[in-house]
Structure formats: structure tokens, C-alpha cells
Amino acid sequence: METVCLNKQDNSFTRAVEERSGQVVSRCYQCGNCTAGCPMSFLFDYPVSRIMRLIQAGQKETVLSSKAIWLCAACNTCTQRCPNEIDVSGVMDTCRQMARRENKFGVHAVRAFVNAFIDSVKFNGRSHEVGIMALYMLYTGRFWTDVDLAPKVLPKGKMAILPHRINGRAEVAAIISRYKQGFSDPELVRARLAAAGGQGAGASAGGDKGSRAGHGKEAAS
Amino acid sequence: MSKITLGYFPGCSGLGTSAEYEKSTRAVCRELGIDLREIPDWNCCGSTPAHTVDPVLSSAFSARVFAQGEQVGITDVITPCPSCLSNLRNALRHMDDELFAARVDALTERPLKQEHSIKSVLQVIVEDIGLDSVKARVRKPLTGLKAVAYYGCLMNRPEKVMRFDDPENPVAMDQVLEVLGAEVLPFPLKVDCCGGSMSIPARRSTPHLAGKILDLAGEMGADVVVVACPLCQMNLDLRQGQSRAAGLKYTLPVPYFTQLMAYAFGLSDADTAFKLLAEDIAPAFTCMSRRSDEIKAEEARKAVLAEEKARAAAEKAAKTQAGTETAAEKQPGGKSRANSASAAGGAA
């Protein structure tokens, strides 16, 4: 097992994870319930409860370089069972997002799969299974991936060889492109909201936010 | 029954690997009086990959779906896919935060003007249509079919977000299968993860996780593993050969609950779409009819036995009554309690 040097604590990392995920990671008292229920733990380099401890201890490099944050299946078992009501799965998601921003990819195949999926959505507006597999093979060089499944699905005519493209695919591609250009950056949007607030409601795009109660009908319950 | 009209989000897998779920869902909804209005030109919700990149990006995909619905007056939407459900539900929840909603709007440039709701098809069938209405439509009961219901991770989790059924021991599908006439076995791995989309980049996960689920179902003597999630279904059915290559001893058909509903409702082969499953369901139905015959024979035997018993009892009663009358005539005190009771009754 690797040793962790607790003299080098990056507390700003702990704060950043808490802020981005909206979770109080310091509430974790290492009961291990998350790890006990984690289905992917057998592939992890650090079990999920240890990732939580490493975040508390400000071990940015270890956490963001880990394989565990990439192999999490986002099944929410840990979140459901945490006695301190921490959205553990959400924290894992946050770490993966932060790792991506720092160009750290603990498991390249997962990154390739995610990219293949998003690219498929960008091209077609919908995900296209055959296309995702083709892109995944291209990005990883694993050209034999799941070829054993082809004889099972192709004769049934289930898999659409050509994608179902939607009319609004340019709109969906624009969402991804705006995202990549940083349009949803929280500081930028916060500044715009503040400016709009100063000028009065409805002054800029999306300026009617303040008057809207919420998007979910069941939000109050 | 009164008709209900709801917006419908089929999800991308319905156009491919889960075509049988899509076909049977539409057929079952038609039978149950749920009028599905498909959201026009809907897009992918982004599934797991999008929210692992950024929840704002993921929510922006969902927001466009809701915006497309809003355009034609759809605000109450149902979807068969738990992964879509989870994403769409989470988007609504996150967008209750003003800053988050503004960040999403910055990507879609189409702010939502109305409130929206998203539910699973299963939830609407169980809560809004009701099990009695389902039962009333059964033409070909699944008597003799041993089934386990497998829910997967996302349908009921996290509890606070999904707000449906139990997060550790859900029963909605069990109840549906029971009213269809099946024998539902208590399955301990109902909500254990099948590995989800990790089956592609982390191949070892499939035999380990999906294999464990199938192995226990086989061990328990189930004929079918019934599911409600396209990704679970793919890992359990399409990839079953991969699990068998790693040591799984059983071959188990993995139908969607809607396919079994369509079958029990007596709908056509086009509606049940069983032929699209990777593992053939025919052996399960063979077991079912054999067991059903056994159950019928056993019931017939029991009926004959009960009849004989009743006749014997009647004869005995007639005899004792005759005996009582003679006994009562001879000694008014009576020996047995019955005699004394009848004597007391007579005296009163």
C-alpha cells in the first residue's frame, strides 16, 4: 500500500470538493458502509471510504490520479447507505470531473468510453450504440471489444447500423460546444446574474429566474 | 377505465438494444389506457457519461428535452428507462438552484418556463393505474412461472431523489408479477449493481456482478429474471455468454416486466417482442406450463380429496346426530361436551 504524507495537506482541495459537490465530506467518520456495499470495489485501487478520508486529508494528487474515481459505476449504493447522508457517489463524480479538468485520467478506457458517448450525442443528438462502440474502438485501439456480441444482436435487426439523427442535432451540438467554451462557468454566470439583478428582472437572457419558483413539480415534497 | 395522457420519453436504447422494452411498453400502456405523447424530436439525456463530465452539461441535455415538451404543452413525462429517469429527475432537482439553472440556460439558451415532472412507467402503472386494473386485464395468467424481479441501482436510489418504492427492498415489480399470476421468489440481489456502463471499459465487472445475480437466480430455481432497465437487461441477457464463459452454470431468459404484462394480457407476438431477447424465453414458458399442469392436477386432487372429506364429515355428522338424538333420549345429562351443549341448547 502507498503511504500518504499528511504533512502535505492541500486544504483548498478539500474545500473545492465540498463546494463543487455540495457535500460536507468532513462528516464522514469512516464507518465503511460505502465500501461494504460498493460493487466495483474489487477493481478499485482505493476503496471509496479511503477516497473520502484522502479528501478530508487534502491529498489532491492521490485522489485525482486514482483509478477508483474512474471505475465508480455511479450506482448510488454508497449514497443510499451513508449514515451521515453524504452523497458519496456525487463526491466521486465531482472528483472525476476535477481530474478531467486537470487532464488526469486514471483509467483511459473509461475516459474513451465517455468521450465516445458524448461525441455520438454531438453528431446525432441521440446516442447511437453501434457508433459509440466504433468510436470507443477507435479511441482505445481495442478493436476486438464485444465482437462476440455481434452475432447475437445483428440477426435480430435490433441494432440500428445507421444512427437515428434528430432535427435539432445542431442545437445539441451547440450545447456541447458552449460547454467546452466555458459558457456555463459559475463565476461568469454569477456575474451575469448579478448584473441582470442590478438592471431589474428580465434585463438579460434568462432574467426571469428570480420570479420562477422551481422546475420540479415535486420539489416542495 | 378513464384514459390518462402523459408525455413520453423513450430514451435512446429503445431504438436499439431495448427495442423489446419499447414495443411492449407502448402495447401495455395502450391496453391500460395510458395515452403516450412522445416528446417531439427528443434528444439523449446524456446518461451516465454526461454527469461524470459535468452535472451542468448533463442537466442541459435534460433541459432541452423538457423544453421540447413545453413547446407542445407536455409537462408531465414518463420514461421506461431508469437511467434517463435519474438524469431527468436530477436535472429538475439541480435546477431548483438559481445559479445552477442559469448555468444550464447559458448552454441551452432555452430557459424553461413551466414546472415539469418525470416518473417511471412502472411507477405510473403501480400508483396511478393500480394493480387491480392490471389484474382485470389478465387473459393468460403466468401460473407456474417462477420469477425473480431485479430492479438495479437507479430505479429507487437515492431514496430522496427517486421517491418511489423501497430503496433496499423494492416490491413494485414483484407485485405486478404476482397479479399476473407468477410465483415471485424473494430475491436478495434486487438492487445489487450489474456494473452498468462499466461493462465496456471494465470488462471484468460483467461476469463478476451480472454473473453473481444470474447465478443466485438460477440457484433459487427461477425460470426468468425480470427487469425494468435497458442497461441491466443488456448486462444480464446479451452479455450472459460472457458470464457463462467465466463460470456461470445457468441459462436464464431476462425479459422486461412489460413483455410479461403484454403476454399475460394476451397481446400479439409483435407486442411481447420476446424474439428480440438474446436468451430464448421458450424454456421458461415450457417450465411454466408443466408446473401449471402440475398445479392444476394438484388442485384437482385436492378438490377431490376435499369433496371426499366433506362427504365423510357429512356422513359422520349425520351419524353423530342420529347418535345424539338416541343418546339424548336415553340420558339427558350427556357424556360429551357436544351432547351437553345440544342438550343445554334444547333445554334453553
All three cell numbers of B105: 440556460
- If asked whether residues B29 and B166 sit together in one domain, one would say no
> B241: domain CATH number?
3.40.50.11810
- If asked whether residues A115 and A43 sit together in one domain, one would say no
- If asked whether residues B67 and B195 sit together in one domain, one would say no
* A181 in a structural domain: yes
Q: What band does B348 get if pLDDT is binned at 50, 70 and 90?
A: very low
- If asked whether residues B62 and B119 sit together in one domain, one would say yes
Nearest alpha carbon to residue B1 among B154, B137, B139: B137
pLDDT(B335) > 70: no
All three cell numbers of A130: 453501434
- Find which of B38, B41, B52, B118 to mutate to test the A interface (most A CBs within 10 Å of its CB): B52
pLDDT(B146) > 50: yes
B108 touches chain A (CB under 8 A): yes
Q: What band does B28 get if pLDDT is binned at 50, 70 and 90?
A: very high
- For residue B68, list chain A residues with Cβ-Cβ distance below 8 A: 168
Q: What ipTM is given for this predicted complex?
A: 0.88
Q: Do A186 and B153 touch (CB under 8 A)?
A: no
Cis peptide before B158 (omega within 30 of 0): yes
* A6 in a structural domain: no
- Name every residue whose Cβ is closer than 8 Å to that of residue B219 and which is 6 or more positions away in sequence: B250
Residue with cell string 420570479? A211
- If asked whether residues A41 and A89 sit together in one domain, one would say yes
User: CA–CA separation, B161 vs B170, rounded Å?
Assistant: 15
B138 touches chain A (CB under 8 A): no
> B54: domain CATH number?
1.20.1050.140
Q: Do B202 and A87 touch (CB under 8 A)?
A: no
Count the neighbouring beta carbons within 10 Å of the beta carbon of residue B220: 14
**Looking at CA atoms only, how far is residue A49 from chain B in angstroms?**
18
All three cell numbers of B248: 456461470
* Structural domain boundaries enclosing B31: 4-124
- If asked whether residues B60 and B138 sit together in one domain, one would say no
Decide which of B75, B103, B124 is a domain's last residue: B124
- If asked whether residues A80 and A123 sit together in one domain, one would say no
Q: How far apart are the first and last CA of chain B?
A: 56
- From A105-109, B47-51, B117-121, B323-327, the region with the lowest mean pLDDT: B323-327
- If asked whether residues A75 and A115 sit together in one domain, one would say no
- If asked whether residues A69 and A16 sit together in one domain, one would say yes
Residue A38 backbone phi and psi in degrees, to 5: -70, 120
* B311 in a structural domain: no
* B274 in a structural domain: yes
- If asked whether residues A118 and A75 sit together in one domain, one would say no
* B347 in a structural domain: no
Average pLDDT taken over every residue of chain A: 88
- If asked whether residues B88 and B183 sit together in one domain, one would say no
- If asked whether residues B49 and B65 sit together in one domain, one would say yes
**Looking at CA atoms only, how far is residue B11 from chain A in angstroms?**
9
Nearest alpha carbon to residue B173 among B194, B159, B192, B187: B187
Strand partners, A218: none
Strand order in the sheet with B117-120: B34-38, B4-8, B76-79, B117-120
pLDDT(A213) > 80: no
Q: Which of residues 274 through 293 in chain B touch A, CB cutoff 8 A?
A: 275-276, 278
B197 touches chain A (CB under 8 A): yes
Cβ-contact A167, A124 below 8 angstroms = no
Residue with cell string 427517486? B162
Q: Which of B43, B91, B195 sits opposite A172 (nearest CB)?
A: B43
* Structural domain boundaries enclosing A174: 169-204
pTM: 0.88
Domain count within chain A: 3
Residue A67 DSSP label: S
- If asked whether residues B144 and B285 sit together in one domain, one would say yes
Q: Is A216 helix (H, G, I), strand (E, B) or coil?
A: strand
- If asked whether residues A112 and A92 sit together in one domain, one would say no
Q: Do A114 and B195 touch (CB under 8 A)?
A: no
Q: Which residue of A has its CA nearest to B68?
A: A168
User: CA–CA separation, B200 vs B47, rounded Å?
Assistant: 15
H runs (alpha helix) in A25-107: 33-37, 48-56, 60-64, 68-71, 77-81, 88-101
Q: Which of A75, A158, A219 sits opposite B196 (nearest CB)?
A: A75
- If asked whether residues B136 and B213 sit together in one domain, one would say yes
Count the neighbouring beta carbons within 10 Å of the beta carbon of residue B53: 22
**Looking at CA atoms only, how far is residue B222 from chain A in angstroms?**
23
* A80 in a structural domain: yes
- If asked whether residues A15 and A72 sit together in one domain, one would say yes
One-letter identity of residue A39: P
* A216 in a structural domain: no
- If asked whether residues A118 and A93 sit together in one domain, one would say no
Q: Do A128 and B16 touch (CB under 8 A)?
A: yes
* B205 in a structural domain: yes
Q: Could you give the dihedral angle defined by the CA atoms of residues B80, B85, B86 and B92, in that order, rounded to the nearest 10 degrees?
A: -170
Q: What band does A217 get if pLDDT is binned at 50, 70 and 90?
A: low
Q: Which residue of B has its CA nearest to A171?
A: B108
- For residue B93, list chain A residues with Cβ-Cβ distance below 8 A: 216, 219
B92 touches chain A (CB under 8 A): yes
Decide which of B124, B155, B173 is a domain's last residue: B124
- For residue B101, list chain A residues with Cβ-Cβ distance below 8 A: 206, 209, 212, 215
User: CA–CA separation, B76 vs A137, rounded Å?
Assistant: 39
* B254 in a structural domain: yes
Count the neighbouring beta carbons within 10 Å of the beta carbon of residue B333: 9
For residue A221, the model assigns a pLDDT of: 39
- If asked whether residues B170 and B219 sit together in one domain, one would say yes
Secondary structure in 3-state letters for chain B: CCCEEEEECCCHHHHCCCHHHHHHHHHHHHHHCEEEEECCCCCCCCHHHHHHHCHHHHHHHHHHHHHHHHHCCCCEEEECCHHHHHHHHHHHHHCCCHHHHHHHHHHHCCCCCCCEEEEEHHHHHHHHHCHHHHHHCCCCCCCCCEEEEECCCCCCCCHHHHCCCCCCCCCHHHHHHHHCCCEECCCCCCCCCCCHHHHCCCCCHHHHHHHHHHHHHHHCCCCEEEECCHHHHHHHHHCHHHHHHCCCCCCCCCCEHHHHHHHHCCCCHHHHCHHHCCCCCHHHHHHHHHHHHHHHHHHHHHHHHHHHHHHHHHHHHHHHHHHHHHHHHHCCCCCCHHHHHHHHHHHC
Cβ-contact B184, B148 below 8 angstroms = yes
User: CA–CA separation, A170 vs B320, rounded Å?
Assistant: 90
Q: Is A3 helix (H, G, I), strand (E, B) or coil?
A: coil
Q: Which of B16, B92, B104 sits opposite A160 (nearest CB)?
A: B16
* A4 in a structural domain: no
pLDDT tens-digit readout, A109-162: 999 999 999 999 999 999 999 899 999 999 998 888 888 888 888 888 777 788
- If asked whether residues B221 and B170 sit together in one domain, one would say yes
Q: Which residue of B has its CA nearest to A132?
A: B200
Q: Which of B98, B115, B157 sits opposite A80 (nearest CB)?
A: B157
Average pLDDT taken over every residue of chain B: 92
**Looking at CA atoms only, how far is residue B288 from chain A in angstroms?**
25
B124 touches chain A (CB under 8 A): no
User: CA–CA separation, B148 vs B164, rounded Å?
Assistant: 19
All three cell numbers of B333: 345429562
Q: Is A120 helix (H, G, I), strand (E, B) or coil?
A: helix
Q: Which residue of A has its CA nearest to B96?
A: A214
Decide which of A156, A177, A193 is a domain's last residue: A156
* B9 in a structural domain: yes
* A161 in a structural domain: no
Cβ-contact B332, B342 below 8 angstroms = no
- If asked whether residues A29 and A97 sit together in one domain, one would say yes
- If asked whether residues B228 and B253 sit together in one domain, one would say yes
pLDDT(B230) > 60: yes
Q: Which of residues 156 through 175 in chain B touch A, CB cutoff 8 A?
A: 157-159, 163, 167-168
* B340 in a structural domain: no
Q: Do B61 and A160 touch (CB under 8 A)?
A: no
* B299 in a structural domain: no
- If asked whether residues A18 and A86 sit together in one domain, one would say yes
Q: What band does B328 get if pLDDT is binned at 50, 70 and 90?
A: low
Q: Could you give the dihedral angle defined by the CA atoms of residues B193, B194, B199 and B205, in that order, rounded to the nearest 10 degrees?
A: 80
Q: When comparing pLDDT for A70 and B342, which is higher?
A: A70
Q: Do B102 and A160 touch (CB under 8 A)?
A: no
* A82 in a structural domain: yes
Cβ-contact A49, A34 below 8 angstroms = yes
All three cell numbers of B191: 438492487
B106 touches chain A (CB under 8 A): yes
Decide which of B273, B292, B311 is a domain's last residue: B292
Domain count within chain B: 2
- If asked whether residues A37 and A86 sit together in one domain, one would say yes
- If asked whether residues B150 and B258 sit together in one domain, one would say yes
